């Protein structure tokens, strides 16, 4: 049992009581009164000290030595086998003859009480292409326009204004170097996305990186016929992730989270235009100065330069 070091009744106090009785010859009742315990309790700890020494003064487990009504191991295994077959707890209780409470306790101990425990997520499989440009991750994050909030003199809002609209943060991240290219564009339409792809291709070409393959999610613009024709025209392969598995496009997803934390939500902007004006300076800092954990804390440009010379 965990107890405070200055608690009045601990293993140290028990040893003092036992030594007072055994070594100093103090009567058991007097020693018990000295430590504010009953004579029966004092006799118990004195007896344990005589038999086991200091080791016998520690708190033991309160679990009984024999539990005749304990569920047998074979029945427990049957409960777990039925549960792994996705059977609900009340049905397991009906088939095994156990109470629902007993089934619930068995499943909790085995960490199978929740449905998600029966289908754990697959282990993370990290990958990295060997050369810059082998794969470019594309993604889009919807952003909101905002302006200065007008307040009354008493601090209340002056009234709701019309919604200022939305923007789209388009990002492209090279799989090997983590070099990133970003643009804040008005929408997520196919034509806008194709224009971003062309601008990204020029950006990476300026750093000596030729794009060979794209990886995107299943957004409407990426599934469009125009985008497919643009990739064919630029001689770029295009792969899409499996539906509802954003982790497959994890490098772009992670870059967006970093951008939101270190740029978009890093400070209180007066309006969305001020926020958007700081996007490119932050992206340049990310590519050329910011340490990257997966690159041994070097900036992405360190790998793009090596890709240029190779």
Q: Are 26 and 40 in contact (CB under 8 A)?
A: no
What's the pLDDT at 307? 45
Q: Are 237 and 231 in contact (CB under 8 A)?
A: yes
Nearest to 45 by CA among 63, 58, 62, 27: 58
What's the pLDDT at 159? 55
Q: Is the pTM of this model over 0.75?
A: no
Q: Each residue of 221-256: pLDDT tens digit?
A: 999 999 999 999 999 999 999 888 877 888 999 999
What's the pLDDT at 185? 96
Q: What angle do CA 261, 279, 249 make, to 5 degrees?
A: 60
Q: Are strands 180-185 and 213-216 parallel, antiparallel or unpaired?
A: unpaired
Number of H helices, E strands in the chain: 14, 5
What's the pLDDT at 164? 80
What's the pLDDT at 276? 95
**Residue 61 to residue 38: CA distance in whole angstroms:** 22
- Calculate the dihedral angle through the C-alpha atoms of 268, 273, 276, 280, rounding to the nearest 10 degrees: -110
Q: How many CB atoms lie within 10 A of CB 201?
A: 19
**Residue 27 to residue 280: CA distance in whole angstroms:** 84
Nearest to 14 by CA among 56, 57, 55: 57
Per-residue pLDDT of the chain (310 residues; tens, 9 = 90+): 566 666 777 888 899 899 999 988 899 999 999 888 999 999 998 999 999 888 888 887 888 888 888 889 999 999 999 999 999 999 999 999 999 999 999 999 999 999 888 888 777 778 889 999 999 999 999 999 887 655 555 666 555 566 788 999 999 999 999 999 999 999 999 999 999 999 999 999 999 999 999 999 999 999 999 999 999 999 999 999 988 887 788 899 999 999 999 999 999 888 899 999 999 999 999 999 999 988 999 999 998 754 443 3
What's the pLDDT at 219? 92
What's the pLDDT at 245? 81
DSSP symbol at 267? S
């Amino acid at each position: 049992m965990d107890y405070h070091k200055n608690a009045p009744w601990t293993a140290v106090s028990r040893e003092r009581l036992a030594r007072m009785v055994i070594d100093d010859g103090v009567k058991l009742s007097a020693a018990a009164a000295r430590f504010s315990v009953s004579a029966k309790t004092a006799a118990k700890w004195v007896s344990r000290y005589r038999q086991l020494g200091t080791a016998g003064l520690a708190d033991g487990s309160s679990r009984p030595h024999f539990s005749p009504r304990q569920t047998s191991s074979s029945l427990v295994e049957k409960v777990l086998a039925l549960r792994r077959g996705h059977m609900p707890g009340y049905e397991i209780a009906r088939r095994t003859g156990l109470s629902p409470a007993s089934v619930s306790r068995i499943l909790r101990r085995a960490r199978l009480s929740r449905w998600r425990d029966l289908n754990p997520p697959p282990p993370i499989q990290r990958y990295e292409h060997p050369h810059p440009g082998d794969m470019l991750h594309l993604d889009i994050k919807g952003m909101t326009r905002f302006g200065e909030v007008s307040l009354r003199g008493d601090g209340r809002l002056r009234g709701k204004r019309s919604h200022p609209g939305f923007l789209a943060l388009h990002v492209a991240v090279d799989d090997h170097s983590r070099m990133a290219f970003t643009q804040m564009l008005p929408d997520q339409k196919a034509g806008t996305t194709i224009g971003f792809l062309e601008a990204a291709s020029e950006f990476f070409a300026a750093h000596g990186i030729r794009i060979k393959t794209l990886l995107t999610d299943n957004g409407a613009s990426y599934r469009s016929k125009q985008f497919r024709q643009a990739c064919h025209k630029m001689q770029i392969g295009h792969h899409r992730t499996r539906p509802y598995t954003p982790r497959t496009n994890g490098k772009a997803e992670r870059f967006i989270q970093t951008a939101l934390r270190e740029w978009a939500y890093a400070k209180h902007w007066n309006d969305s235009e001020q926020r958007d004006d700081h996007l490119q300076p932050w992206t340049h800092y990310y590519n050329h100065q910011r340490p990257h954990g997966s690159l041994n804390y070097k900036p992405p440009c360190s790998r793009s330069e090596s890709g240029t010379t190779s």
